[in-house]
Amino acid sequence: MNNSWRQQELVFLLLYAIIFYIIIIHYSLQLSHDHYSKLYGLRPGLFSGQLNDASDAQWRNFRSNLPILTFVFGLFTSIANILRAFYNLKAEGMSIVWLLISLAYLSYLHGAFIIFILSIASANFLLVKIFGQTKYFPFVLWVFNLSFLVCNRVYEGYSFANFGNRWAYLDKFRGTFRWHICFNFVVLRMISFGYDYHWSGHNTYVDQEKHIRHCTTCSSGKTCYKMLQASRQERSVGIDKFSYTLYLCYLLFAPLYIAGPVISFNAFASQLDTPQKSYTLKQVVWYGFRWVLCLFLMETMTHFFFYNAFAISGIWKQLSPMEVFIVGYGVLNFMWLKFFLIWRYFRFWALVSGIEAPENMPRCINNCYNLESFWKNWHASFNKWLVRYMYIPLGGSRRKLLNVWVVFTFVAVWHDLEWKLLSWAWLTCIFFIPEMIVKSASTSFKVDNVFKEFIFRELSAVAGAITITCLMVANLVGFVIGPSGISWLKSVFLQAQGLPTLFGLLVTFYVGTKIPSKGYIRVEERGYDLNPNIKHLQLS
């Protein structure tokens, strides 16, 4: 294929994408206008005469508390940074400062129930110190933390009355936020602390040569974030850093306490000692300004497109297949933007405080073409945690087909004890199997001429379209319609009226997969590292 054909193809793909989004926006506006009176969770908006979709409780609570949250974090961070500069504090000193700040913050959030958090955390610390250097420590650590993860949910955070009538009066001081919801992230940090202490006696190996070979940033002589973060968390800190004060500071660190991003103990302790230098002050300010622009985008979206309200109101079951697809697609984009804003808000405050946590959602949901890429770019910091503390200890790629079931089942239980989340996890695993088989088979396929390059491109685009469709189904089942909705989805799309819509969305995702970034699609980003001599496949 000559360059002229490539350019014509790219023009066609871009025109298709533009027309697609025009149709989506038109239908979305029409749907919101026609059905707003039947939807739950709509409130008066910021724009005159315009309603706002406040049906998502998580986003509604975050948005309503944003002013006070910003004031509190701004005050806390200013105090911590001033004390660091004035007294030249290092890890131990800063851990005391941030621990006191975080305890004040948690006392407001959870009231007297902070006692449960400190009690479980202290028990975990003792367990790590007693059994941390034994060979059966990982088993003990997982049993302890999984037990509390499940029990916290089953007993809804416990009650002081269960420990005797004389303690019952403490149940009145519940604070403003349920502690056992936030404790999911504390469990991840407790496990990280335990493993990093367990591994503190030996240096884990980082394959720098392999990474540099596949990373354009590192191969150019610079250091990418992925390599910087890997070196931080792989490099064990001194044994003196595994103190009780630094441990509690890590678990309760205010900017990252509620929602993360997740950071390893090694990375946290090293940056508490020496603040991050990856971001200059100008870059941190620009990071915050971009977040404000994204917040404006979210406000615009929720004022004109009531996707989530359709999902929780059940109205979409009365819609046509085309309308169901639009609402489902819109819900996933709403979820992506919601978590994007929440995670980046807390990461921004960590950056201001001198701690660089991994970036969640470094890539847009509409720019992920396979399951592996999607999970590396959704809750990316959690993915790094899962790889480091679960996937590799379980055997890594040698037992990949088995490991994905264990990992995703844990992810479902970690989120909540619900059948629809387990259904989501197991559906994702089922969709992973053919992708892994295709990737394994593709290693024998060498892209060494134009025709094979064309075949590879087309098959990759088709696989991408199918994968995106499967991702939509898995996430809608897990977070919106539940496992009972699978039969309903089949009845909508696998019949005469729904088949054209199903075909149309597959074509659309096929086109979206083919539209390149800057004219290229990187082979290794898709997971198809077929030939080390071919760095990119040119599509335009």
Per-residue pLDDT of the chain (540 residues; tens, 9 = 90+): 556 777 787 888 889 889 988 999 998 999 998 888 888 889 998 877 789 999 999 999 999 999 999 999 999 999 999 999 998 888 889 999 999 999 999 999 999 999 999 999 999 999 999 999 898 999 999 999 999 999 988 888 888 988 888 889 998 998 888 898 889 999 999 999 999 999 986 655 455 555 555 565 565 555 554 555 555 555 567 788 899 999 999 999 999 999 989 999 999 998 988 888 889 999 999 999 999 999 999 999 999 999 889 888 877 778 888 888 888 888 888 989 999 999 999 999 999 999 999 999 888 877 777 777 777 888 899 999 999 999 999 988 788 888 889 999 999 999 888 887 888 888 888 877 777 776 666 666 665 667 767 777 777 778 778 777 877 777 777 666 666 677 777 777 888 878 888 888 888 888 877 775 434 333 333 333 323 232 222 222
Question: CA-CA distance, 39 to 47, in Å (whole number)?
Answer: 19
Token code pair at residue 391: 């996937």
Dig out the tokens for 318 from the structure: 């009365």
Instruction: Annotate 332-376 with DSSP letters as a single string.
Output: HHHHHHHHHHHHHHHHHHHHHTT--PPPS--S-GGG--SHHHHHH
CB contact at 8 A, 378 and 363: no
CA distance 371 to 165: 51
pLDDT at 68: 92
What is the DSSP code string of 145-199?
HHHHHHHHHHTTT--GGGG-GGGGGGGG---SS-HHHHHHHHHHHHHHHHHHHHT
Under 8 Å between Cβ of 341 and 294: yes
Angstrom distance (rounded) from CA 444 to CA 401: 20
Query: If you count them, how many residues does the chain have?
Result: 540
Q: What is the pLDDT of residue 239?
A: 82
Q: 179 is written with which tokens? A: 């502690």
Tokens of 236: 């064990």
Helix (H, G, I), strand (E, B) or coil at 62: helix
Helix (H, G, I), strand (E, B) or coil at 128: helix
* Counts for the chain of helices (H) and strands (E), in that order: 24, 4
* Alpha-carbon gap, residue 98 to 79, rounded angstroms: 10
Which of 242, 268, 267 shows the shortest CA–CA distance to 126?
242
**Helix pair angle (499-514, 321-352), 10° resolution:** 40
Q: What is the pLDDT of residue 118?
A: 96
Place of tokens 């239908």: 27
- Say what the pLDDT of residue 518 is: 36
d(CA 148, CA 459): 46
Tracing tokens 């819609």 back to the chain, one arrives at 319
The pTM of the full predicted model, rounded to 2 decimals, is 0.84
The backbone torsions φ and ψ at residue 521, rounded to the nearest 5 degrees and listed phi first, read: -125, 125
Looking at residue 236, its pLDDT comes to 64
- Residues 189 and 453: beta-carbon distance below 8 Å: no
pLDDT for the residue 448: 63
Q: Which residue has the tokens 């006070």?
A: 68
Give bridge partners of residue 537 from the DSSP assignment: 521
